[in-house]
Structure 1
Amino acid sequence: MPIPSREEMYSALEERHGTELQKKLDSASVAVCGLGGLGSNIAIALARAGVGYLHIIDFDRVDISNLNRQQYFPEQLGEPKSEAMKDTLERLAPYCHIKADNIKLSEDNIPALLSDADIIVEAFDKADQKAMLVNCVLENMPDKYLVSGSGMAGIAPSNIITTKRITKRFYLCGDGVSDVDDGMGLVSSRVLICAGHQAHAVIRIIAGEFDI
């Protein structure tokens, strides 16, 4: 069966979200940095919502240990995550413009690589990488909105995962406490909840709803 036309898919989203919001989503540009448990789920949520432009970035490859919480298929094992996720997103949202980079972000390349995004999503696994991206964006790209994740490990109650507005353009999602090295590690359901918070924060920013 042929896929629906762009007009048909846009109309279906517009019916759900309303004309004004869907127009804003279609015009938005979001960079998702890291395509693991957080980033793969965030990217899928944003693509399904009708965000018009997604820039997805990761330097890693799909490993069997990823399959418990990350949005990859067993047949994608060994593929670069950026390419595997691009394939999945193109199936889910064929009219979303997706740019995929298989590259490791650093203080040197972040300003140029992320310059095309209205909103930057930090979705790394490691604390030092998270801090590096957040600090680099806050110091060098003050006009960008930034949504970061911190604390989603283990099986603690889901309701302690929250979204907080730290500064005018910086939002932080998670419990702010749990760490992957402190106990059970990352469980799919709790990672998904935090990813949902980040994706929803992005959608609210696009909608012009800044008080989260």
Structure 2
Amino acid sequence: MDIIVNGKNISVKENTTIYEIKEQFKNDSDIVILNGFQVTEDCILNKNDNVVLIKKGEIPDKDELESLMVSRHTPTVHKKVKRACVGIAGLGGLGSNVAISLARIGIGKLILVDFDIVEPTNLNRQQYFIKHLGICKTEALKEIIEDINPYINIEVHNEYITSENVLDLFDEAEIIVEAFDNPKCKAELVNTVLSSKNNKVVVSASGMAGYFSNNTIKTLKINERFYIVGDRINEAKIGCGLMAPRVAIAANHQANTVLRIIMGEKDV
């Protein structure tokens, strides 16, 4: 009968047990997951059972990790995601969250651009840790992503993005995520990219401050190459700051919009 072990299809005889599989494939594993649940006792396997053998602290090899991703995403989805290259302009509350969501789905390549360092006020909403204080955001985020999936191709540029360099920085990216705080910088990036002769798509954001309703964060398709996420009203100001929950909602709208574009779903 056929079962899956660490993402790979194998054939075993009837009445094969969990412990027999462990002994055969990874006898030094510490944890056994059967169909999504940890098991601590031996049992007989059934056809199409999914077994994951884990040794604590061990990094799966590239093929093993990819096969596990495929089992979650299906081969068609994974193949398209793996081929995609996405640029992220700004690695703050939006950009750091978008990057991590895209890393978790196994995006092929990320181009990460920011000129800033991690400082204490960033920790209220951005995906950094105390140990990253004083480190360039590009390098800190690259380190975090490599802890999630060391096989993603990550290109970093510790630069200030302008209308003069944005197209060169994101030359390889099919989709650019605009993740700036400054409205002027947002407009400059969007206008520069959309007025160029390439076919790059921009996923922008505006309005995610405060603790207003989740449901006011929306994704709008402005045209074939431009999407905008947010409530388009609540920008950061005194008494209405940027806070982790709502910023992360907007960021994951952006990430899911990127995924939908990759998959050929062009409507919101």
Fold conserved between structures, TM > 0.5: yes
Name 2:193's counterpart in structure 1.
137
Name 1:48's counterpart in structure 2.
104
Report deviation, 1:13.
Answer: 1.4
Report deviation, 1:113.
Answer: 1.0
Which stretch shows the higher mean deviation, 61-70 or 2-11? Answer: 2-11
CA offsets 1:127-172 (integer angstroms, 9 cap, x no match): 1111111111111154001100110001110101011110011111
Tell me the percent identity: 47
Name the SS for the 1:85 alignment partner: helix
Equivalent of 1:32, from 57, 80, 88? 88
C-alpha distance in 2, partners of 1:86/1:37? 15
1:108 aligns with 2:179: no
1:183 aligns with 2:239: yes
User: Would you tell me which structure has more helix in proportion to its own residues?
Assistant: 1
Name the SS for the 1:147 alignment partner: strand
Name 1:149's counterpart in structure 2.
205
Q: Give 1:12's aligned amino acid.
A: L
C-alpha distance in 2, partners of 1:183/1:12? 45
1:78 aligns with 2:130: no
TM-score between both structures, scaled by the size of structure 1 = 0.98
C-alpha distance in 2, partners of 1:155/1:142? 38
Q: Give 1:111's aligned amino acid.
A: L
Q: Give 2:124's aligned amino acid.
A: N
CA contact (8 A) 1:111 1:141 kept: no
Report deviation, 1:2.
Answer: 2.4
Report deviation, 1:183.
Answer: 3.3
C-alpha distance in 2, partners of 1:29/1:182? 37
Q: Give 2:205's aligned amino acid.
A: G
Residue segments in structure 1 that go unaligned for 5+ positions in a row = none
Equivalent of 2:224, from 168, 189, 196? 168
Equivalent of 2:175, from 116, 119, 125? 119
Name 1:197's counterpart in structure 2.
253
* Rg larger in structure: 2
Name the SS for the 2:151 alignment partner: coil
Equivalent of 2:72, from 16, 22, 29? 16
C-alpha distance in 1, partners of 2:197/2:75? 31
Report deviation, 1:184.
Answer: 1.8
C-alpha distance in 1, partners of 2:187/2:239? 21
Structure 1 runs of 4+ aligned residues shifted over 6 Å read: none
CA contact (8 A) 1:120 1:145 kept: yes
Name the SS for the 1:88 alignment partner: helix
Name the SS for the 1:156 alignment partner: coil
Relative contact order higher in (CA < 8 Å, ≥ 6 apart): 1
Name 1:68's counterpart in structure 2.
124
Report deviation, 1:103.
Answer: 0.2
C-alpha distance in 1, partners of 2:133/2:95? 17
Cα 1:141–1:33 shift into 2, 3 Å: farther
Name the SS for the 1:67 alignment partner: helix
Cα 1:89–1:193 shift into 2, 3 Å: same
